[in-house]
């Protein structure tokens, strides 16, 4: 079976090798989007709130390392809400999770709203095209304002489940992140390896949709919006979970679960 598959892969590579460049790109894109279509068909952009114990079923019972980590997770958290693994999961989890939190606790809202409102001018100062950015901003700020205007939990959830609205929100969070990185480039430049300039990094790793987020994205987005986030890391390293707060020494209001390549929303007990 495995042999068959690797044989197929070889044939596929041969087939790609002989293509002119643009057809090769086309073929790769088609393959990628068919993988993405598969993911889209099998998971919601944003799932329902699930009991945290459900996570146990995702790993085999004799996976001692993960089962132990999940037990520890259960002590702190009661529920998890999954996001679609389309590369936008951090932004979507952050966007929905933070607004959801502010529906019930308005304490963090004023500072979030102020930073959100000011972000458009900051992008204009960096000479972003107003035409498109305005479109993303208007959508974004109307969702942010809806929290103050008493939007219901179901309506907020529906907004983040509707592909157009949800992705527009993600596009704008990516722009805020990029803007923050560029505004404080002396600081962030130190985190970028691979010989890219900060602007190149933003254009290739931050602003395009469907690309995964790293520490640097989280640092930039949380500091741009004045948000406090705790990430619980569950991976193959170490015997126990590790936690990281953004910014450090803050009181986190939103909790996210990280598993390699993916973020979901966590609900503390």
Partner 1 sequence: MATSAAVLLLRKQLAELQKHPVDGFSAGLVDEVNIFKWEILIIGPADSLYDGGYFKAHMTFPEDYPQRPPKLKFISDIWHPNVGKDGMVCISILHEPGDDKYGYEKAAERWLPVHTVETIMVSVISLLCDPNDESPANVDAAKEFREDKKKFKRHVAKCVRKSQEEL
Residue with Cβ nearer partner 1 (213 or 253):
213
89 noted as active-site residue: yes
262 noted as active-site residue: yes
**Cis check: omega of the bond before 2, within 30 degrees of 0:** no
Residue with Cβ nearer partner 1 (87 or 252):
87
Both tokens of 265, joined, read: 């929303």
Both tokens of 62, joined, read: 């004799």
- Residue list 17-56, contact with partner 1 (CB under 8 A): 20-22, 24-25, 28-29, 32
Helix (H) or strand (E) holding 92: helix 89-104
Which residue reads 């406090």 in tokens?
A: 228
* Site for partner 1 contains 207 (CB under 8 A): yes
Residue with Cβ nearer partner 1 (139 or 222):
139
Q: Which of 98, 120, 136, 267 binds partner 1 (CB under 8 A)?
A: 136
Dump strand ranges (E) for 125-261. Answer: 229-233, 242-246, 254-259
Tell me the residue length of the chain: 269
Return the range that interacts with partner 1 (CB under 8 A); candidates 101-109, 112-120, 206-214, 244-252. Answer: 206-214
Both tokens of 92, joined, read: 């979507």
Which residue reads 């086309």 in tokens?
A: 26
Query: Sheet harboring 254-259: ordered strands across?
Result: 46-51, 77-83, 262-268, 254-259, 229-233, 242-246
Cα atoms found within 13 Å of the Cα of residue 203, Cβ hemisphere only: 6
Q: Which of 150, 164, 195, 260 binds partner 1 (CB under 8 A)?
A: 164
Q: Which of 131, 149, 193, 249 binds partner 1 (CB under 8 A)?
A: 131
Min CB(61)–partner 1 separation in Å: 38
86 noted as active-site residue: yes
Point out the residues that are catalytic.
Answer: 86, 89, 262
Residues that bind partner 1 (CB under 8 A): 20-22, 24-25, 28-29, 32, 128-129, 131-133, 135-136, 139, 162-165, 167-168, 171, 175, 199-200, 203-204, 207-211
């Amino acid at each position: 079976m495995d042999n068959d598959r690797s044989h197929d892969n070889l044939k596929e590579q041969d087939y790609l090798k002989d293509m002119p460049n643009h057809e090769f790109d086309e073929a790769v894109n088609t393959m990628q989007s068919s993988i993405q279509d598969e993911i889209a068909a099998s998971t919601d952009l944003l799932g329902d709130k699930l009991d945290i114990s459900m996570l146990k079923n995702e790993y085999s019972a004799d996976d001692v390392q993960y089962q132990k980590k999940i037990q520890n997770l259960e002590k702190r958290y009661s529920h998890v809400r999954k996001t679609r693994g389309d590369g936008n999961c951090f932004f979507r989890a952050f966007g929905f999770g933070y607004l959801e939190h502010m529906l019930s606790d308005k304490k963090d809202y004023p500072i979030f709203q102020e930073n959100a409102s000011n972000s458009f001018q900051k992008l204009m100062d960096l000479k972003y095209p107003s035409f498109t950015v305005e479109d993303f901003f208007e959508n974004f700020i109307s969702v942010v304002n809806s929290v103050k205007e008493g939007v219901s939990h179901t309506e907020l959830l529906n907004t983040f489940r509707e592909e157009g609205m949800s992705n527009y929100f993600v596009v704008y969070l990516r722009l805020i992140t990029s803007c923050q990185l560029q505004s404080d480039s002396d600081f962030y430049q130190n985190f970028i390896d691979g010989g890219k300039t900060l602007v190149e990094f933003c254009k290739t790793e931050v602003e395009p949709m469907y690309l995964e987020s790293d520490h640097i994205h989280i640092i930039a987005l949380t500091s741009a919006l004045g948000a406090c986030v705790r990430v619980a890391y569950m991976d193959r390293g170490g015997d126990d979970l590790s936690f990281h707060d953004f910014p450090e020494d803050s009181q986190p209001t939103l909790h996210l679960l990280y598993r390699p390549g993916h973020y979901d929303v966590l609900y503390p007990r």
